[in-house]
Amino acid sequence: MILRSAQQAKAMRRCLSGQPGAQLAVLPDMAALRAWRDRLDVESVQKHGRLARLGFVPTMGALHAGHLSLVESLRDKTDHTLVSIFVNPAQFAAHEDLGTYPRTLESDLAKLGEADLNVAAVFTPTEAEMYQEWPPYRTFVEPLEADDSAEGRARPGFFRGVATVVTKLFAAARPTVAAFGQKDAYQCIVVRQLARDLNLGVDVQINPTMREQDGLAMSSRNAYLTVEEREAAPAMYAALREVQRIVGRGLPWGVEEL
């Protein structure tokens, strides 16, 4: 038996009670996900004479407009959309924020329950469901050379954790297309590569980064910023845009103006 957190249990009761999010199928474990996915294909073959086209958006929850834009981008391309919400321990280094990462399942389900998003189901597994023995867990997908990148050196094991959980999710959900945000650029490269190298049959769609009005990229971790940090945060994007503008004018790397 999988023991669920109080927040997960409350959110699931809310979906079953007719409150916002009630139209969603909440899938708590792999068995439920696989059974749901099989039913989609059976129903699609009966109705259309083909297998179901499934869109998939994997997330760690604490959803914002950027996540919802990924969901919306799949609405007219697929028959159904599946969203997963799972804070993946395998992609957190020891010095990172696994214990404090925002977990807002109830409000996430309410957002995904909006009718115009056309989300059919949400997969909400526990750590025990995804990693039966954690730690130790002995089988990983290891993207070669990813840890040699600047981000990989700063976050040891991150790309291995991402590649492993995405492979597990793709194998269970069998999506036709999966949407990711360009903000996590190297992660997008890793996911697209593994889908191709492992012949998973998933079209990995990369969507433009969604930003706040002042240019800050939307992120669940923006909630950590103090007022002063939030005010300063858009400066990096503004500086990059200025460099882009200068170089785009044909100057030799903008030396005269930089």
Name the residues annotated as catalytic.
Answer: 67
Size (the chain), residues: 258
Q: What are the CA-CA distances from residue 225 to residues 6, 20, 67, 146, 209 (Å)?
A: 27, 29, 19, 28, 19
Token representation of residue 211: 């930003």
Q: Are 186 and 149 in contact (CB under 8 A)?
A: yes
In which element (H, E) is residue 153 found?
Answer: helix 150-154
Let me know: does 122 contact 103? Beta carbons within 8 Å: no
- Rounded CA gap, 85 and 8, in Å? 11
Residues 6+ positions from 239 with CB-CB distance below 8 Å: none
Burial 202-211 (b: 16+ CB within 10 A, else e): bebbebebbe
The answer to whether the CB of 141 falls within 8 A of the CB of 128 is: no
Q: At what angle do helices 158-173 and 185-197 cross, to 10 degrees?
A: 50
Query: How far is Cα 206 from Cα 242, in angstroms, rounded to an integer?
Result: 24
CA distance 36 to 43: 11
213: left (phi over 0), alpha (psi -120 to 50) or beta: alpha
